[in-house]
Structure 1
Amino acid sequence: MKGNKFKLYTDRIFFLMVLLGLGLPVQAQVTSRKQVQPTLTRIEFLFDASQSMYGRWQSGAKIDVAKNLMNQLLDSLRFVPNIELALRVYGHQKPYPPQDCDDSRLEVPFASGNATRIQDALKNITPRGTTPIARSLELCADDFPASPARNILILITDGIEECGGDPCAVSAALQRKGIFLKPFVIGMGLDESLKKTFDCVGRYFDATNEVMFRQAMDIVISQALNSTTLQVNLLDVNGVPSETNVNMTFYDRNTGEVKYNYIHTLNAKGNPDTLVIDPLPIYRIVVHTVPQAIKDSVVLVPGKHSTVGIDAGQGSLMIRYDGPSEYRKIQAIVRQPGDMATLVVQDINATEKYRVGKYNLEILTLPRILLDNVDISQSKTTTVTIPRPGIVTLVTNNPGFGSIYTVEGKTLKWVTNLDENLSKETFILQPGRYRAVFRPRASRESIYTLEKEFSIVSGESNVVIMN
């Protein structure tokens, strides 16, 4: 019998070491990445010691079964690196009745190598009181140290909230604040009607018997400690994962915290790289294409390889110009149709990538060139060519006030104002018909306004004298 117990004990140790990837080549390959270095994990056990835990459950009282299985688990965790444990107990200090809804105490604070202390504390726990789950969850928030770690809470209970609190609301609020990740809840022999009350508190595991309790504990610990792998397929318009070399930000959907940044990579075989990811958070993945591609509510399966596909087909845009060097400093504003927000300010003679679709361009020439519904196609470069400009020099006898307009049929459209302090200015303009309107500063009557029409031809220059 002793031999069987020793084998069970060593098997559980080996099981947890395998889950942590100790000695596995794939783990060694990723340790050079800063964001997947082994990090500290804190696990707090929230243990129900209310009066109902005296109830019979297969081989004995629920409290004795729970203590026994907890001791086995703690024996295994004793050898796990980068872990700190804590124990909070509720319902064990004050007898019921009367009801004491503050009966919750941190029996063993967080520390490394304290599995034995928790085992010793459990020996002295006697069920006595009520079930203040919501209040205990609130108190757990102060149990976790402020320094960075993966904070895990495991609630072991055989009953529901008895003090009028809202465990669901408390749990959700603490998750949003980043106090801990979504809790694990192990229900010991709960009635079928009560199980759903814990779905909103955390990940619920139903332990209807001792075997299932042991299995639930193993699964919970594996999910708490084990990293999983993820492949992100950036799909082109044909559904092929061919897009790459773009940053992906992984946000914790509950807290908004940035968990990872990875530049997407295709390996030597042309397949997306495999990432080692913490499986516990629910992720919002933002792919920083232009515009962004977003995949929300990504849930990973701990201990397994997951694949996520994100539509991210891209093409390229080049705005081409071969004119004078001064003109090459011009930029273009790129927008989505129906949206005045600027996506990108693109340089002339540069190539930028965009998601497949249509875009509006505002090229900052004089006058500005507006191009709507420019089509960007998968893996192709769309080239927009700016006409070569011409040059005009406006000469006046005296500085004054004026503007240049394009002549479009019977309509004048403003292009630019003249400098009221200069009597000679040179402008680089797009080909077309123009009109200059000017009044000398010294002339105090509008009747002295002067007008001159002129044309701009690509590559040519002319002089317009305003007199």
Structure 2
Amino acid sequence: MKTLFTVAVFIYCFLPGFISMSDTSIQDQPTPIIFIYDASGSMWGEMQGKTKVEIARDVLSETIDRFSESQRIGLVAYGHRKEGDCQDVEYLVEASNKSHELVKNHIAKINPLGRTPLAYSATKVIEKLQPGGEKATVILITDGIESCGGDLCSVIQEARAAGIDFRLHVIGFGLTDENLGPLKCAAQAANGKYYDAGNAAEFSSVLEEATAQTIDVSDYNLAVYTTKNGAPIDSWVKVLKTGTEFETGGTRTYRDTGFAAIDPGIYDLLIQPLENSDVAAQMIREVEVGKEKLTFRSVSFDAGQIMVRTLMNGENWDATVNITLANESRSASGGRTYGRDQFYDVSPGLYNIELKCLKINGAQTQKVINGIEVTSGDTTRIEYNFQTGIARIGVLGQNGLMDATINIIDKSTMQSVGGGRTYTSESSNPKEFLLTPGSYSVTLVGVREFKGEKKTFDMKIDPGGTLEKSIQF
């Protein structure tokens, strides 16, 4: 009797996604999953304050906890016993194992030391998968490329040509684009997918998808490719029951083609571009998906950019940005400039922009710019200079600096726009205010021994000017 195996080989790259599985027999009798675990020395590198080996241990253990009790799990590690040994590959847990705790305990004890023999690791797993014998899903996780002279893609291609039936997913952890060719080649050769991840959240998401796409899952019957202004873009793809918001499956493109295996039928596809883009999602309605034929859709997110620069008296200055469609009130994009040029990706159209200058007071801290046209592939540049002046208000009593409260009223609106307290310290008395140009009324009220005493005066602030005023009680 043949035994079906799912072999998972891990190469650290994290990408999220999900795909529907309708065959309940898969859930009842899942094939084993074998993880090939990267224990090379580079796993001690850090991401977001944690070592990659810590992230891998935590995320992999959490993923295993979500498996059904009937899920068999094997574990292979490389680089964990000897430095510089290109044959340091060990089967730690056989694929017939059903103890999740056993796998997690082995993962917790692995101490990364050595090199990255990807091809040799895959060979040791494939040796157990003879033609006409065990099936497997191989998920390969690594934070580095082949370091022992092997050719991973050739190993996978030769095994498939020999009739060994397995699926290979590759997960890359923090790899650069120029290193991905052999890894993508290997995954594609075995009807799998390459995933990339740069942090723990992405690793968790992509690992969830990879472990769902085992050899048990039928071949993909839906593929989606997305671009923005001609270049590939990462996008979420949600498969919805036609005419509803009920989600039946989906995938993620990761700047490549996203694949999904779903029940035959007619669906709506909701496609949302990622990569910090505010380009509007697209809905493709009534897409017919068959059982055997691959349904392919290519979606173009043509976008333009709005560059926003905010200044104060000619110097770069921080401001908030709210971008809305000209005929709508809801925000289409926005953020904060932090005194630097900021770029916002939006769909072509007509927009209004509201800027609010920070750390200044007065009636002119906001500016609305209407009717900004954005076209595909172009950058529309918006620059606005807020003008201010400085008011330094000191309060003196009979014995020197005096503690008092200050309330500043903008005479054009009769609204309070600033205030504070002088105390009796030279660091706060006189107290400085950054105000927009205009006329103001100032009220001073004494504190402590001068409690209840009040003085008022008017002042005018000019653009770029400085007004110094000392009031004697």
TM range (shorter): 0.3 to 0.5
Task: Give the structure with the higher percent helix.
Answer: 1
The higher relative CO (CA closer than 8 Å, separation ≥ 6) is in 2
- With the length of structure 2 as denominator, give the TM-score of the two structures: 0.41
Q: Normalising to structure 1: TM-score of the pair?
A: 0.41
Structure (1 or 2) with the larger CA radius of gyration: 1
